[in-house]
């Protein structure tokens, strides 16, 4: 699969994705999907919920191959954690 180049900087992607999540998506997915990952197309606002970022992204790309994707874990401020956590 060829590498896709983003139309936006990492900062702009994050800002747009977080704003869409807070404004339009959060109330639809919390608390029913807590711990799941939401992949958001920051251009259209469409999103997909799945168990992990890869699956969510693949499903969103199947719907729209040109999607600019931002992922958010429902109910958490972080998508991934590294190391052991108590």
Please choose, from the candidates 39, 40, 26, the residue with its C-alpha nearest in 3D space to the C-alpha of residue 75: 26
Tokens of 18: 């977080």
pTM (2 d.p.): 0.85
- 53 and 36 Cβ atoms separated by less than 8 Å: no
pLDDT, residue 79, reads: 75
Tokens 């997915």 identify what position? Answer: 29
- Residue 48 counted as domain residue: yes
pLDDT, residue 81, reads: 56
- Residue 17 counted as domain residue: yes
- Residue 78 counted as domain residue: no
Residue span of the structural domain in which 41 resides:
10-73
Q: What is the pLDDT along the chain (86 residues), one digit of tens a residue?
A: 456 778 999 999 999 999 999 999 999 999 899 999 999 999 999 999 999 999 999 999 999 999 999 999 999 877 765 556 55
The residues near 18 (Cβ < 8 Å, ≥ 6 apart) are: 70, 72
DSSP reduced 3-state for 43: coil
Number of domains in the chain: 1
- Residue 69 counted as domain residue: yes
């Amino acid at each position: 699969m060829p590498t896709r180049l983003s139309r936006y900087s990492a900062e702009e992607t994050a800002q747009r994705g977080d704003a869409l999540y807070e404004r339009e998506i959060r109330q639809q997915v919390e608390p029913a999907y807590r711990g799941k990952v939401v992949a958001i197309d920051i251009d259209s606002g469409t999103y997909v919920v799945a168990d992990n970022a890869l699956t969510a992204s693949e499903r969103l790309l199947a719907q729209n191959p040109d999607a600019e994707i931002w992922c958010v874990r429902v109910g958490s401020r972080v998508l991934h954690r590294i190391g052991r956590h108590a």
